[in-house]
Amino acid sequence: MATNTANPLATDFELELDGPLTSYWLALLRVITGWWFFHAGVTKLVEDGLAYSYGPMYMQEMTGTALGPIPVWMGNNLAWLIAPGVPLFETLIGLALMAGLLTRLASIGGVIFMTLFWIGNAEFGHGLVNSDLMGLLLFLTVIVLGAGRYYGLDAIVEQTKLVQRHPKLRYILG
């Protein structure tokens, strides 16, 4: 805690980024974001199994977006991958985030999903800032701040001899 006698409006409270409050907050943010994606994926798996046909249909209708014809092509030609991939990857991304394991790698998957959702909803009826952008920012925050190191399994994995010998593995952990 620091005080500032030069500023009469200053208080005795200072949020330290390396303090316990930040650790708890990042862990909570990571787990909630993971639950959000896990729930979305498991719900699709329970309802449709690995035949989630809305994913390819959604991409086929993404005409006139900033991505041009790419998502339409993907929806038409990669439906065999997208239909099982959406519920499966949402579930796996969510599990990884909740456990704090391979957190950055999983969050990169979340960034890809949320970018497609954000651009796919290109009507932007509520402006550029919408729930898809907020989800994208959540995943980016988890990546940038290494949220898997806070009460997650990544903190344990980073202590293993394998990661000690290959420190670049920390880029997909944390």
Residue 8, in any domain of the structure: no
Residue 66 sits in which domain range? 18-171
Residue 7, in any domain of the structure: no
Task: Count other Cβ atoms within 10 Å, centred on residue 108.
Answer: 17
- Do the Cβ atoms of 111 and 136 come closer than 8 Å? yes
| Count of structural domains within the chain | 1
Residue 4, in any domain of the structure: no
| 3-class state of residue 54 by DSSP | helix
Residue 32, in any domain of the structure: yes
Q: Give, for all 174 residues of the chain, the pLDDT tens digit.
A: 445 556 656 666 565 667 778 889 999 999 999 999 999 999 999 998 887 788 888 888 877 777 778 888 888 898 888 888 889 999 999 999 999 999 999 999 999 999 888 877 766 666 778 888 999 999 999 999 999 999 999 999 999 999 999 999 888 888
Residue 2, in any domain of the structure: no
Q: Which residue carries 């994913």 as its tokens?
A: 55
